[in-house]
Amino acid sequence: MNREIIWSPAAEKDFESILEYLQHKWSNRISRRFINKVDDNIELILEDPKIFPVINKELGIRKAL
């Protein structure tokens, strides 16, 4: 089954804000580590989304932190 990751507008904005903060206050190396961690979670979601908690049963929405 092909799965698709759909980011909410709030999640996209948060991700961009975090990246900007990391690049401004830390370094590109730290920013890349953060991106890699997010990519790792995306892979986990694609493999088995049921490992993450449901936040909206009706729509089947889960949350990964």
Listing DSSP states for 14-28 in one string gives HHHHHHHHHHHHS-H
Separation in Å, CA 53 to CA 21, 49, 63: 28, 9, 6
CA distance 45 to 37: 12
Domain edges within the chain = 9-62
Across residues 32-61, what is the average pLDDT? 92
Q: For residue 1, is pLDDT > 80?
A: no
Q: Encode pLDDT of 7-41 as tens digits.
A: 889 999 999 999 999 999 998 899 999 999 999 99
Label residue 63 by pLDDT band (50, 70, 90). Answer: confident
> What is the 8-class DSSP label of residue 52?
S
pTM: 0.76
The dihedrals phi and psi of 62, each to the nearest 5 degrees, come to -120, 165
